[in-house]
Amino acid sequence: MDAAASSPLGWLCTGVTTLFGVPLAQRSPLGKAKVLLCSLLPALLCVATLGAGGGLGVFVAVCLVCSVCLGHRDLLPVADRAVLITGSDTGIGHALAKYLDSLGFVVFAGVLNKDGPGAEELRRSCSQRLSVLQLDITNTAQVKEAYLTVSEKVQNAGLWGVVNNAGILGFPADGELLPMSTYRLCMEVNFFGAVEVSKTFLPLLRKSQGRLVNMSSMAGGIPLPRYAAYGASKAALSMFSGVMRQELSKWGIKVMAIHPSGFRTGWCLTFWPQTHLLSCDVAPAGIEGTSEQWDKQEKELMENLPADTRQAYGEEYLLGLRNYLLHLPSHCAPDLSPVLASVLHALLARRPQGLYTPGKGAYVPLCIFCCFPLWFYDFFISKVLSAGSAPRELRASGDEGKNI
C-alpha cells in the first residue's frame, strides 16, 4: 500500500478524488466529513486494493455515481409560491425575476429605482403575478414598507423565499489604496442590507417554512487580491448564512448561500482568468451600475491617497487599476443560466445544498484553499491573478515578487 500510495498515480488518484469530493460536499454542515469519507478514505482503499492505475479509474467512476445519486434533484412544485428578490434592476436579479415569473412563481422584484428602465422592463415583459417594489436595502423605511406590501398580499400563506441578491463591488484595488468609504459602503449594502432584509421578512418565512437564499461570492470564501472591501463584506454574509442555516433549521426554514463563478452582469464583475472564473454580483443601477460612477470612485480613491502611498505605488500602477477593471467583462460568461438553476434548486429542492458554486471551475480555488498549505494557495493566486506592473518602489528596489 505504501508504494502504491506514494507513486505519482497514487497521488493523482487522491487529488482527483478530492476534486470530485469537494463539490459533492458543497461545504454543508457535514461538508468536511463528506470530503473525508467521500474522497480520501475511498481513494486510499482503491489504491490499496487495485493499485494506483485501477484505483484511479474505479474511484472516479464511483464519485461520478455518488454525485448523481446524491444530487437531490427532486423538486417541489411551484404552486404559486411567493419569492422576494432584491437588486432586480439589472443582471442576475433582473434575469432571476423573469425566470421565476415564467415558472409560475409570485415574484416581488425589489428595485433601487421603481421608475428606472429595469423596473419598466419587468412590468412590460412579465406576468401580472410579478410586483415591482421600491426597495433600497440600505433604507430601513423602504424595507419596512416592502414588508407591509408583501405581507398584505401573501397573508396567511407566508412568503416562500427571500433572495438577497442586491450587492455592490466597489472599485477593485489594493486594500491599502481603498478609501474607508468603500469599505463602509460594501458592508452597508452587501452585509447589513442583506441582514436587515432577512430579519424583517423572517416572520413571513416562518409561516411557510420557506427558504432564505443569499447571493454571496467566491471572494467571500477565499482571499483574492484587490477585493479586500468586497470580499470582507461577502465573507460576513457567508458566515451569516451559515449561522442562520443552523439557527433557523428548528423553524423548518432552510438557508443557502450562492457563490457564483464569473458571469457578465454589467459593470460589477469579478473574474477568474481564462476558463476559471470567479464570482460576481449584480450592482444595482444607481449605486455602482454606470461608468460615470466608476469614474467617481476612481477619483475618490486617487484624491484620498496619502502622498507617501501615491509615491510608493506610482502613477503607472494606479492607472493600471482602471485597465484591470475594463478587461474584466471579457473574462466573464454571458450565460446566467447556471446561477438561475442553482437559485431554483435552492428554492425548490426537498434537500437543498448549503452552498452552491455555479459556473466553470468555481470549486477549484476553494479546493486549493481548503486542501493545500496557505503558501501554495498564495503562490497559485499570485500567478493566476498577476496583474500588470508592480508598484514603483518594488520595481526600483528589485524586490518585485521576492516574497511570493
Please give the Cα distance from 16 to 19 (Å, whole number).
5
Place of cell 511570493: 404
Q: Is residue 311 within 8 Å of 192, Cβ to Cβ?
A: no
Please give the Cα distance from 287 to 57 (Å, whole number).
51
Please give the Cα distance from 218 to 92 (Å, whole number).
16
Place of cell 423596473: 119
Rounding to the nearest 10 degrees, give the CA dihedral for residues 215, 168, 280, 39.
Answer: -50
Does the annotation count 230 as an active-site position?
Answer: yes
- The beta-strand segments (E) located in 129-253 are 131-134, 161-164, 211-215
Place of cell 415558472: 103
Left if phi > 0, otherwise alpha if psi is -120 to 50, otherwise beta: which for 283? beta
All CATH 3.40.50.720 domain ranges in the chain, comma separated: 82-365
Cell numbers given for 57: 479509474
Please give the Cα distance from 166 to 168 (Å, whole number).
7
Q: How confident is the model at residue 279, as a pLDDT?
A: 34
Q: Is residue 231 within 8 Å of 224, Cβ to Cβ?
A: yes
- DSSP class of residue 390 equals P
Looking from the CA of 136 toward its CB, the CA atoms found within 13 Å total 10
| Residue 400, CA distances (Å) to 75, 89, 172 in order | 52, 42, 21
pTM: 0.76
Please give the Cα distance from 169 to 288 (Å, whole number).
8
Q: How confident is the model at residue 327, as a pLDDT?
A: 57
Please give the Cα distance from 371 to 380 (Å, whole number).
13
- Residues with pLDDT less than 70, the chain: 1-47, 50-73, 261-295, 297, 323-334, 361-362, 386-388, 398-404
- For helices 194-208 and 228-248, the axis angle rounded to 10 degrees is 20
Place of cell 497559485: 380
Looking from the CA of 38 toward its CB, the CA atoms found within 13 Å total 25
Cell numbers given for 287: 449605486
Architecture (CATH level 2) of domain 82-365: 3-Layer(aba) Sandwich (3.40)
Nearest by Cα to 94 from 289, 275, 235, 242: 289
Q: Is residue 139 within 8 Å of 200, Cβ to Cβ?
A: no
Place of cell 409560491: 81
Please give the Cα distance from 292 to 112 (Å, whole number).
17
* Residues with Cβ within 8 Å of residue 123, at least 6 apart in sequence: 130, 132
The catalytic residue among 227, 230, 317, 356 is 230
In 86-102, which positions are buried (b, 16+ CB within 10 angstroms) versus exposed (e)?
bbbbbbbbbbbbbbbbe
Nearest by Cα to 285 from 123, 111, 132: 111
| Residue 296, CA distances (Å) to 34, 283, 319 in order | 47, 15, 14
Residue type, 155: Q
Strand 131-134's sheet: what is its strand order?
131-134, 106-111, 82-85, 161-164, 211-215, 254-258, 355-356
Burial degree of 186 (CB within 10 A; 0-12, 13-18, 19+)? buried
Place of cell 508504494: 3
The percent helix, strand, coil of the chain (3-state, each to 5) is 55, 10, 35
Q: How confident is the model at residue 291, as a pLDDT?
A: 60
